[in-house]
Amino acid sequence: MTNSVANVALLGVCLQMMSLLVLQANARAFLVFGDSLVDNGNNDFLVTTARADNYPYGIDFPTHLPTGRFSNGLNIPDLISEHLGQASPLPYLSPMLKKDKLLIGANFASAGIGILNDTGIQFLNIIRITKQLEYFEQYKVRVSGLVGEEEMERLVNGALVLITLGGNDFVNNYYLVPFSARSRQFSLPDYVVYVVSEYRKVLRKMYDLGARRVLVTGTGPMGCVPAELAQRSRSGECSTELQRAASLFNPQLVQMINDLNNEVGSSAFIAANTQQMHMDFISDPQAYGFVTSKVACCGQGPYNGIGLCTALSNLCPNRDLFAFWDPFHPSEKASRIIAQQILNGSPEYMHPMNLSTILTLDSTT
């Protein structure tokens, strides 16, 4: 009788392992790092002011409830997952992220962070990029416990990785207040060089931890978001200084990625020109079905760009007509436009190749 029970238990373990391996074979893990543009709920588990856990966030999400995403609905990682035909990876801090869900991937992103660890200090408790990489190491140990060391390495090496960083290092650091510590320490060109050099260390660490396909987004047009128009614009023109920062940062980011790829001997890192992706619909919103790219759907004050999006804010009735959901973040419709360019964009948008090309190449190896 004891042997029968033991055999049944062993069979159950074997079946669970087989189901995990089948799931792993059928799905490509998706790992997400970065800030509020890609955070899908980690900050809900932290004591921080950088949160999206209140109405009307999530108003167009399938549940119509806030999820921690800084969006009216889905964000860019969700839309990439949609294309991959699998569920979005759960926030790493979610207690639901366990067993087979770990094999789908994990989202380590945290609103408010930057490349530099002093970025976003006003938000208190956020998962800085160094901590996100520590969690990545922890994730590998957890996956190894499920499927073994060799299968874990295969999963991580084959994973699609998305990292979105940089905007907060300007908006919530260098330009946060007049005469900020960083602006007194560096001229803007020197600051950009420093930030890019620090980013290089992050990406190299990611590679050393096993990441082999990493989508790296540049900053968007920081001077054109409703929050900056409200503070810096007289008649709706983009902030010259913040646009200068983006125009310095993004080309140096691409050059750094080229250098890193040469160093590792492969196209491990892919540069996504999200500045141009945004500028397409900011420059000509009507061509993309928007009525405005200056006014946020949710907010208050000039351009709905002051303060936070809350239940007391102005709220547009049709989010699909607005390029920006809140003072800083794109609407789901705008995110879909960006995700399509990541998938199918020409070399102007995706260098050295777009995501569809990556998926095709990787399916044959």
Residues noted as catalytic: 36, 326, 329
**Cα 117 to Cα 199: distance, rounded to the nearest angstrom:** 11
* 85 backbone dihedrals φ, ψ, rounded to 5°: 75, 30
Instruction: Answer whether 156's CB lies under 8 Å from 210's CB.
Output: yes
Alpha-carbon distance 258 to 269, whole Å?
A: 8
| Chain position carrying tokens 């044959």 | 364
CA dist 173 and 114 (Å) reads 9
The two structure tokens encoding residue 319? 């989010």
Question: Coil, helix or strand for 246?
Answer: helix
Residues with Cβ within 8 Å of residue 54, at least 6 apart in sequence: 66, 310, 311
Gap between the Cα atoms of 68 and 87, Å rounded: 16
Residue 107's H or E segment, with its range, is strand 105-107
The C-alpha atoms of residue 222 and residue 278 are separated, in whole angstroms, by 10
Intra-chain end-to-end CA distance of the chain, in Å: 48
Determine the Cα–Cα distance for residues 43 and 70; give it in Å rounded to an integer. Answer: 11
From residue 103, give the alpha-carbon distance in Å to each of 90, 220, 307. 11, 31, 38
